[in-house]
A and B are shown apart, each in its own frame.
Chain A
Amino acid sequence: MKILVPCKRVPNPDLKLKVANGSVDLAATTWQVNPFDEYAVEAALRLTEKGKGGERVGEVVVVSIGPKETGAQLKQLLAMGASRAILIAGEDSALDPNAVARTLQAVVAAEKPDLVIMGKQAVDGDDNQVGQLLAAALGWPQATFLATIVLAADGKTATVTREVDAGVEERRVRLPAVMTVDLRIIAKKAVRNEALAPATAEWEDTQRLASLKGIMAAKKKELREITADSLGVGAGLLVKTVRHEAPPARKAGVKVASVEELVAKLHNEAKVI
């Protein structure tokens, strides 16, 4: 099983965003792997393991489009256990979801993975488009917003669950496919390859951290830097970002001292109960 995991470098979502003069100022931010993509890497690692701590069978290839500094995030993913990494030179300002999907389409053509797994959205652009666009471009089936993945022993299909507005939806998907993952994918028993791990297999209830051994091993792993040109991709933008604006601040409210005061205000002032 060869799994390709596209990962995006994003600004730390827990830091206050500076928005001024129509643009976002990221000069002072710290960068990290998009959380959903990190979960996708965890899912891919589990799908190629004989249970927790088991040996890896197959390959997990992580790929990112970004500036040279994105190498730091890819090294972290290699230290987590990914097999090798590809960094395609690019800047966010010259990309939109379509350009990302077209670039990834070329990577898929070159790498021929059995499966592509990625986060359902990046927490900066919040587009939630690339997985679906990539599946459309490849003519592959798609399974989005996944909470669980069970890969059949023959490696030809997967049974997945998706968290949808009406509840939980269970689907069967034929491989190769594009899958996008939601938060629950890192639950203990969320992901399993029937060919490798027994039904009783479980992992930590979170994504793994890079171990010291993993960090040492990562130094010997391949991190290949290429250009979009070398992939023969030159997609123009379909969507242009015109300007950013800080949302209006909510006016500060009042502190109440007791439940009595709260209920009185909700009833008499806000008139909501």
Chain B
Amino acid sequence: MGTATLVLLETTTSNLRSASLPAISAARKLAQSNGGQVVGVVIGSGIAAAAQDAARFVDKVLCCDNPGLAAALAETWAPVLVAAVKQIDAAALVASATSTGKDILPRAAGLLGAGMASEIVGVTGAKTFRRPTYAGNSLTDVEVLTPVVVATVRQTEFPPAAPAASAGTVEALAAGAIDALGSELVALHASKSVRPDLTEAKVVVSGGRGMKDAANFKVLEELTDLLGGALGASRAACDAGMVPNDLQVGQTGKVVAPELYFAVGISGAIQHLAGMKSSKVIVAINKDPEAPIFQVADYGLCATWESTIPALIAQTKAIKAAG
């Protein structure tokens, strides 16, 4: 039975993605229980430089570099993760709960016959984890009963890892037979946002059903950009087609924990709160005094967005100008 903790590290061709840093922190925590090394695995095509970059954070990097692995397909990547687990006789496999991690890790767990804990927020032992269930209305302790443990890591609940004292080594990992089972990536239509990533932004400004119309989000965008933040939305606003679904904050969207969160025209449904209640400071602006969002807000202002956001922008500008 092995002791190493394996962590899937997502990269560009040249760099480790910051989204994977919380998974490294979780892996280090797990390694305290497992007693072995933290080993990263990077998968892709032409990723030698990225493997070196990733090695700054872990004891060792397994690099599976193959033209057939350029796209992050679960069909091809999950077998590579299985090969990596076997090569180092890993006790655990973890990854950040990104859209890639959430897609691929369960498939790898299935191939390994391993039990998996999703979106963990705490490591309580070698095989025991804490994770939110019921949209975050329960914190649930789970125990994985299989020899190998698989987990995805909620990024907001683990700090981004700092580089290790000394960089690890990089070893090649053979890809084995690559079979995409007919799946292929046709195109990635990247979000054109110049704003920081929603899950990494220090400030998030979210609008809800109360914004009434897509055009009204312009004023929220102005506030967002003034604060150097990211734009978010409630499920109601996404469902109504006001903004794309990738802006959705909540149980069914993204989980955020910025230093400052504005909820504008958002009632505060349980499923929205699940995605933002770990924020450090929450500001709610809503015309309904009974809106549940006020129960979690540090500062609540009972008013319409029309009567407040322009003034908020003007006064924030004044403060910034005053330095």
Contacts and interface: CB of A to CB of B under 8 A. Distances in A.
B106 interface: yes
Given A142-B75, A167-B191, A242-B141, A136 B183 contact: no
A144 B235 CA distance: 19
B123 interface: no
Interface string B86-117: 00000000000011101110111111011111
Given A164-B99, A165-B19, A141 B183 contact: yes
A216 B90 CA distance: 56
A38 interface: no
B294 interface: yes
B138 A19 contact: yes
A132 B117 contact: no
Contacts of B295: 250, 252
B174 interface: no
A170 interface: yes
Nearest to B294: A255
Nearest to A166: B190
Interface in A149-167: 157, 159, 162-167
A269 to B, nearest CB: 9
A254 B116 CA distance: 41
Interface string A129-144: 1011111110111111
Interface stretch (B31-39, B159-167, B309-317): B309-317
A147 interface: yes
B109 A159 contact: no
Contacts of B248: 183
B269 interface: yes
Contacts, number: 261
A239 B271 contact: no
Given A101-B110, A256-B300, A263-B319, A246 B190 contact: no
Contact of B78 (A136, A237, A240): A136
Contacts of A127: 116, 118
Given A144-B103, A253-B300, A239 B183 contact: no
Contact of A165 (B99, B308, B312, B315): B99
Interface string A173-195: 11000000011100100000000
B235 A183 contact: yes
Interface string A92-109: 000011100100000000
B110 A136 contact: yes
Q: Report the interface size class on chain B.
A: 35 or more
Contact of A239 (B78, B104, B115, B297): B115
A128 B312 contact: no
Q: Is the interface of A mostly helix, strand, loop or mixed?
A: mixed
Interface string B13-50: 00000010000000000000000000000000000000
A123 B135 CA distance: 7
A124 interface: yes
A171 B186 contact: yes
B181 A266 contact: no
A96 B133 CA distance: 13
Contacts of B320: 273
A133 B312 contact: no
Which residue of A19, A126, A241, A255 has the most chain B CB atoms within 10 A of its CB atom?
A: A126
Contact of A172 (B184, B197, B319): B184
Contact of B185 (A19, A167, A169, A265): A169
18 contacts: A17-B134, A128-B118, A129-B109, A131-B106, A133-B107, A166-B99, A166-B190, A171-B186, A241-B141, A241-B142, A242-B141, A242-B143, A244-B138, A245-B139, A253-B300, A259-B308, A267-B319, A272-B260
Interface of B: 19, 74-75, 78, 98-100, 102-104, 106-111, 113-119, 128, 131-146, 180-191, 197, 199, 203, 227, 235, 238-239, 241, 245-246, 248, 251-252, 259-260, 269-271, 277, 280-283, 294-302, 308, 311-312, 315-316, 319-320
Interface of A: 11, 13-14, 16-17, 19, 24, 36, 96-98, 101, 123-129, 131-137, 139-145, 147, 157, 159, 162-174, 182-184, 187, 205, 237-247, 250, 252-260, 262-263, 265-267, 270, 272-273
Given A13-B251, A172-B184, A238-B144, 6 more contacts: A14-B269, A14-B270, A132-B106, A136-B108, A255-B301, A263-B312
